[in-house]
Structure 1
Amino acid sequence: MNAAAMGPKPSQHHRLSKAKLLRRTLFLTLGAALMSVGLEIFLVPNNIIDGGIVGISIIASHLTHVPLGAFLLLLNLPFLFLGYKQIGKTFALSTLYAVAVMSIGTTLLHPIPPLTIDPLLAAVFGGIILGVGVGMVIRSGGSLDGTEIVAILLSKKTAFSVGEFVMFINVFILGSAGFVFGWDRAMYSLIAYYIAFKMIDVTIEGFDESKAVWIISDTYEEIGEAIMQRLGRGVTYLNGEGGFTGGAKKVIFCVITRLEEAKLKSIVEERDPGAFLAVGNIHDVKGGRFKKKDIH
């Protein structure tokens, strides 16, 4: 058997794994560095905080005059240990690296004066930069806040979701900012937190958010052909069975972008106004033939 038939050489696999590791490290570093910029150049000088361990660290640093980076690292360590035990080694190491870069970054940037002393501008731009940074770290398999790890673990043992735990913790932390920095700064902190929250979603999902579509119609062939011709998207026909009638049904499945949703709905409406149509958000698409074909 020749070498080509046996597949890639071991060294090729090794190079590929090193490339993936380099890419992950690059994005973890960039994300953590952006987080540092958002904190030290926008939020912290204007007494605006973020949620989670970062918010606690900002308050503790303000009250004790100990550098922010020290609290960011020390307060996250217990949660990193939990993450290592319960979630996995790769996640824990990625998080440790990102938190370390963020801690060093805030220390180096602390002497630099803020770009603005307008609290609204600081909240808006600081929130944007924070959200992009956190999103990049999450996409790379890490985290910058230990409260997310606690929320994941608690959600497995209770009826509350991860989001509900994170929200409860952050409401308490952001509320505490009112007693330390004043209630106007607490409200600016809420603005920054909300913007960061939205930017995390945009960074993770991208502007061309993908959507999964299921269509049940007797004119499935006509609809499927129109989707392929007019949208340039591939479709898959699935076999289904009606729950009430027991009759055989064909289900059209395809993946589109958010910008194509309105056009797809019009295609279905034109060919079968009574068709069943379900559209759902999906966070990641890999493999297959998702890449759009050119429409001539």
Structure 2
Amino acid sequence: MNTTKKRRSNRLKMILRGLIIIIGGFIAAYGLEAVLIPNNVSDGGVTGLSIVGSQLFGLPLGVLIVVINIPFIWLGYQQIGKSFAIYSILGIASLAFGTSIMHHIPAIVEGDTMLVTVVGGIILGFGMGLALRNGGALDGIDMLAVLLSRKLPFGTSDFILFLNAFVFIFVSTVFGLQGAILSAIAYYIASKVIHIVEEGLSGSKTFKIITDQPLLMVETIRDRLGRSATYKEAYGGYSEEKFIEITCVINRLEDSKIKEIIQEIDETAFVTVYDVSEVRGGNFRKQNIH
């Protein structure tokens, strides 16, 4: 009985994720057709290539998005897995269909180039972020970047930047240099929105603190911030001196407060800070400090 319920729950989750990816595809299509394309602004990646191809050859944008993404979907299937490929097919198909049915809708922003790039980038990024957060993708160029980064001594972000540089050069042949620059700005804004949608506004941070007053530091963090912390022994690579390293996970709103505490107790403390996209398990809930 429990197994049956679990299967139903998993099936429901999969259906819900698929629906959200489809919605993300339609939102991204709206950003393209109602904001960017009417103002001669493109996107990066495969979508950008599809927009340019549509303008040059008069082919439907939706058809080009599907056709050009086919090898990247296969790449995603080989490198990431079956479920990712299926979800990406849903997302890309909804993006392609969305551009087809929204092709003649009136633009919601016209003329103001900066407003166009900001509004278009936000809408596009929100749609793409929804897809990525739920296990799919609306553009295949990121998959190629991941594969190249495994074969060559460069990072994924380096390849994404490198590949999109060629895309925007291609964009400039149709939309001109100004259009290519605006497209790059819109793409940058979209990438930042994708990051926010994927990780949320309330992301966490990990503070690692090496201080000669670890007990006082932990007690003060607990009393004034309501957060617990963990200890572990650390050794200096040069001096071989033993230290106590404190690890504390906080939300972003508590960042300035914990820095005040560290500065107050030990201004010479060695501190490293890491962004944390997700925290699960344990006892991360904040204690009442009032």
Output the TM-score relative to the length of structure 2.
0.94
Tell me the secondary structure at the aligned position of residue 115 of structure 1: coil
1:80 aligned partner: 73
1:190 counterpart = 2:157: no
Superposed CA offset, 1:80-119 (max 9, x none): 1111112211111111111011111111111211112223
Query: 2:232 maps to what in 1?
Result: 238
Looking at structure 2, the residues matched to 262 and 213 of structure 1 have their Cα atoms a distance apart, in angstroms, of 12
**Cα distance in 2 between the residues matched to 1:10 and 1:147:** 39
Could you tell which deviates more after superposition, 162-171 or 232-241?
Answer: 232-241
1:125 correspondence with 2:119: yes
Structure 2 unaligned segments of length 5 or more: list them. none
Give the secondary structure class of the aligned counterpart of 1:143.
Answer: coil
- Which of these residues, 115, 133, 147, is aligned with residue 153 of structure 1? 147
Paired letter, 2:91: A
Give me the whole-angstrom Cα distance separating, in 2, the residues matched to 1:276 and 1:113: 56
Matched residue, 2:268: 274
Pick which of 8-17 and 84-93 moved more. 8-17
- RMSD value over aligned CA atoms? 1.6
Partner of 2:58: 65
Q: Is the 8 A contact 2:49 2:171 kept in 1?
A: no
Alignment of 1:199-210 (within 5 A): 199-210=193-204
CA distance in 1, matches of 2:223, 2:19: 40
Q: How many residues align?
A: 289
1:291 matched to 2:289? The reply is no
Q: What displacement does 1:27 show?
A: 2.5
One-letter amino acid of the counterpart of residue 64, structure 2: F
Paired residues for 1:102-141 under 5 Å: 102-118=95-111, 119-141=113-135
Q: How far apart are residue 241 of structure 1 and its match?
A: 2.8
What fraction of aligned residue pairs are identical, expressed as a percent? 41
2:83 counterpart residue number: 90
Q: Which runs of 4+ in 1 moved over 6 A?
A: none
Structure 1: runs of 5+ lacking an equivalent: 1-7
- Kindly report which structure 2 residues correspond to 1:250-261, keeping only aligned pairs within 5 A, or say none: 250-261=244-255
Q: Which residue does the alignment assign to 1:171?
A: 165
SS at match of 1:287: coil
Give 3-state SS (helix, strand or coil) of 1:23's partner: helix
How far the C-alpha of 1:247 sits from its partner, in A, is 4.0
